[in-house]
Structure 1
Amino acid sequence: MSVSPVTPGSSLPCASPPVDARRWPDVARQPRASWLRTALAERIVRHALDALPLRVRLGGTETLGRGGPLMEVRDPKAFFRRIGAGGLIGFGESYMAGEWEAHDLVGVLTVLAGRAADLVPRSLQRLRARWAPRHPDAQRNTPEGSRDNVSRHYDLSNELFALFLDETLSYSSALFRGFPADRSLLAAAQHRKIDRLLDRAAVGPGTELLEIGTGWGELAIRAAARGARVRTVTLSREQRELARERIRAAGFEDRVQVELLDYRAVGGTFDAIVSVEMIEAVGAEFWPEYFTALDRLLAPGGRIALQAITMPHDRMLASKDTFTWIQKYIFPGGFLPSVEAIGDITAGHTALRVADRDGFGPHYAETLRLWRERFTEQAPRIDALGFDVTFRRLWTFYLAYSEAGFRSGYLDVQQLTLTKEETGDRTRDGAR
């Protein structure tokens, strides 16, 4: 749902969007929450909001905060009850239900993301395991679970993604030359990102390349244009079919093989492996298995180029057992690693080592801004595809929430180069 323009200091539109209870049961109805839990949540949230550089208007009568972007809480009772019952899941569902609004949604969420570690008192954070929702077993990234998890996001509709992505259909951070980024340059910035990864993996004529996570085929096309032979695997049927069409249209059908296959089932060895923002879908439980597979598949002397969204190590540890709004509604089974976790797991389970890495989080913030603006503009076409107002509010929140994570520095995106340590080197290291 696009937000109607407001003048500074004015109230936002009062009408809440209708919610289809069959499609969005947990948004349409208020959750069960004890009086005590709701009261405690209200006390904590009020105290946190009042100390932030925000203006938080509660029910149009009471204002909290120290000034800044306006957050209009239309139904404070429902807002606090949802947070009391579900924490951040309730916060997101409250937005989906239209119980709160913000003209500058990214601005509000950036303030919150920048202070995420301190919003709840430390004494209460230690009790997180007792009240925070737990991961559903159905979202474990077993081979069967991974197929279901991937399908829930990437098989929504190729037409939907085409409405807000650029013509390369790249659904990962671009790499710009400067800011602010211009929408007309997004495709070139995506190619710059892809070329940087292919350079890291030393992909050229004759390279046998494995890509884990096909997307819609742009990286495979670009690698084939360099003379590589590409095997690319995905768990999304929708992506596989469109990627095949795009590869065929580009004239590289003889050089690129697209398979519906789990990374754990890939055989053979490859000169280079590239994977773009796929590790986020692996799940912390399976990170050792993921990197062990990469180790097994990489030929001696080969190189791996990964692009990964990362979070601070302490926040990763604090949230790894918590079921989140993103996992419930956007990326089931997903979880972001830290740079330290990647280093520890590769060192502890494989011969792979991170040779170098480069972070460029601000570029992701700009990429997400361009996607979000385009998504908002395409509201009528999104409706025509059969997605309702609640879905649009869900995705508006997701894109803004993600952008805020990068703008605040809470999230980063890294390109990492991994190489395989020789057996003799490992022996010498062990001897030390």
Structure 2
Amino acid sequence: MLSAFATQFHRLLDRIDAGLAHGSLSATLPDGRARLLGGRAPGPAAVVDLRSWRALLRLATGGSAGWYVAWSKGEWASPDPTALFELFMRNSRKLGGTARSGGLLRMLRKFRNGLRHNSRSGSRKNIEFHYDLGNDFYRLWLDPGLTYSSAIFDEPEQSLEAAQATKIAAMLNRLGIEPGGTVLEIGCGWGSFAEAAARRGLTVHAITLSSEQERAVAERIATAGLTGVTVSRTDYRDVAGQYDAVASIEMVEAVGQEYWPAYLAAIARALKTGGRAAIQYIAIDDAIFEAYAANVDFIQRFIFPGGMLLSESRFRALAEAHGLEWRDHRSCGLHYAETLRRWRLAFDAAVAAGKLPARFDQHFIDLWRYYLMYCEGGFRGQGIDVAQITLVKRV
């Protein structure tokens, strides 16, 4: 039956071809034909074996989430999916809505995703969905410091652990406070930043919504014999008191656009006058933000429920409206691509060695490998970026 719609599918391929201003896509089609899409200017060279027309139907009706479903069902394959994701992100402006869902299905998905919004109770459920998979799982493929955010590489051959230490040092340096100063960390992960801050003589209140992370941070600080760190399961909206500085590393993506004002208001309340906040965040190209925000993508549907990448211009305007001066922007997108590549290699090695806990089946393994490739390609395509910024509370 699907073959009867082959002409329509070729029209979709024509639209993709027209949208590929940089790079190329060599596709083998279900009817046996081969097509080269793009190829007009240098860029990523992707290869796809399109085994069923149903894959394009899923792409047209489900966007990136539908494309993942098609991959999971064997309806398309590629020797290097990362190159394909890079290609689509590199050309995202010109492709426009070609690879995004639309119509009634989009409305239904937005409604369902809206039920997972980040109220206080919703945030706990969404964080638990991703971060409470178990510390034993993340320990297998993150660096020894268990830092689950982009590293900064001083040189290409630098170890991931050293590059993560470079990133943490850069964040600490932004705070501009001396030993004895107080820091609120919003979204503390497994404690790598809190430990480094404590070693500098700072007093840290680290907050998370993950029970697994709370337990891990407490054990980590105790094992290190450090003082001055308290960790609690606390929503950022419920933080009381003021601090000399605030740090938040790739937590704001879990907040959602609806709650950006509440997040920034919480930072402004927590900071003493003249205090600084160091934020590391992931943003999507402003030119495609509205189309992105109107859909439910692969990450939101399968990996981070309630998540939302930032529109830097919108987020900056909100920060300044809350009395927070925007300073010292540093972009590190390609560093994240390399971080993700290292994670994927470590993840694959753990799978090959049979080290993953038995509760994680092949479907889960495939999903997470796809997730790591998808994100790496996105950063290599430079339509998404990671950056550090300093926010200063005005006098």
| TM-score computed with the length of structure 2 as normaliser | 0.90
d(CA) in 2 for partners of 1:240, 1:172: 17
d(CA) in 2 for partners of 1:41, 1:138: 34
Cα deviations across residues 182-205 of structure 1 (Å, max 9, x unaligned)?
5xx111110110010011012431
8 Å CA contact 1:276–1:308 kept in 2: the answer is: yes
Aligned length: 381
Q: Which residue of 1 aligns with 2:29?
A: 58
Q: Which residue of 1 aligns with 2:86?
A: 110
Which stretch has the larger CA shift, 334-343 or 284-293?
334-343
Query: Partner amino acid for 1:355?
Result: R
Q: Which residue of 1 aligns with 2:42?
A: none
Name the SS of the counterpart of 1:87 in structure 2: helix
Q: Does 1:340 align with 2:313?
A: yes
Cα deviations across residues 339-390 of structure 1 (Å, max 9, x unaligned)?
2112111123x11111221111111111011001111121143554321222
Q: Does 1:79 align with 2:52?
A: no
For residue 280 of structure 1, the aligned residue among 248, 253, 258 is 253
Cα deviations across residues 128-151 of structure 1 (Å, max 9, x unaligned)?
465523142321000000000000
- Mapping 1:399-418, distance limit 5 Å: 399-418=372-391
Query: Share of identical aligned residues, percent?
Result: 37
For residue 66 of structure 2, the aligned residue among 90, 93, 105 is 90
Q: Does 1:227 align with 2:201?
A: yes
Cα deviations across residues 223-243 of structure 1 (Å, max 9, x unaligned)?
000001110000011111111
Name the SS of the counterpart of 2:140 in structure 1: helix
Name the SS of the counterpart of 2:53 in structure 1: helix
User: Relative to 1, partners in 2 of residues 1:121 and 1:251: Cα closer, same or farther, differing over 3 Å?
Assistant: closer
Q: Does 1:298 align with 2:271?
A: yes
d(CA) in 1 for partners of 2:291, 2:155: 34
Unaligned runs of 5+ residues in structure 2 are: 40-44
d(CA) in 1 for partners of 2:84, 2:234: 40
Query: Partner amino acid for 2:130?
Result: H
Q: Which residue of 1 aligns with 2:243?
A: 270
8 Å CA contact 2:147–2:164 kept in 1: the answer is: yes
For residue 45 of structure 1, the aligned residue among 6, 12, 18 is 12
d(CA) in 2 for partners of 1:145, 1:233: 17
Q: CA deviation at 1:80?
A: 2.4
d(CA) in 1 for partners of 2:299, 2:8: 21
**What is the RMSD of the two structures over their aligned residues, measured on CA atoms?**
2.4
Q: Which residue of 2 aligns with 1:178?
A: 155
Q: CA deviation at 1:166?
A: 0.7
8 Å CA contact 1:312–1:410 kept in 2: the answer is: yes
Q: Does 1:163 align with 2:140?
A: yes
d(CA) in 1 for partners of 2:176, 2:332: 21
8 Å CA contact 2:93–2:287 kept in 1: the answer is: no
Query: Partner amino acid for 1:151?
Result: E
8 Å CA contact 1:41–1:83 kept in 2: the answer is: no
Q: Does 1:243 align with 2:220?
A: no
For residue 370 of structure 1, the aligned residue among 342, 353, 364 is 342
Q: Does 1:354 align with 2:321?
A: no
Query: Partner amino acid for 1:77?
Result: W
Query: Partner amino acid for 1:290?
Result: Y
Query: Partner amino acid for 1:356?
Result: D
User: Relative to 1, partners in 2 of residues 1:161 and 1:40: Cα closer, same or farther, differing over 3 Å?
Assistant: farther
Q: CA deviation at 1:399?
A: 0.7
| TM-score computed with the length of structure 1 as normaliser | 0.83
8 Å CA contact 1:41–1:80 kept in 2: the answer is: no
Which stretch has the larger CA shift, 197-206 or 52-61?
52-61
Name the SS of the counterpart of 2:115 in structure 1: helix
Name the SS of the counterpart of 1:65 in structure 2: strand
- Mapping 1:122-271, distance limit 5 Å: 128=102, 131-132=105-106, 133-136=109-112, 137-179=114-156, 181-182=157-158, 185-252=159-226, 254-271=227-244
Cα deviations across residues 307-344 of structure 1 (Å, max 9, x unaligned)?
00111112112221311111111010000112211211
Q: CA deviation at 1:119?
A: 2.5
Query: Partner amino acid for 2:36?
Result: G
Q: Does 1:315 align with 2:277?
A: no
Q: CA deviation at 1:40?
A: 8.7
8 Å CA contact 1:58–1:73 kept in 2: the answer is: yes
8 Å CA contact 1:307–1:416 kept in 2: the answer is: yes
Name the SS of the counterpart of 1:69 in structure 2: strand
Q: CA deviation at 1:245?
A: 1.0
Q: Which residue of 2 aligns with 1:396?
A: 369
Unaligned runs of 5+ residues in structure 1 are: 1-33, 423-432
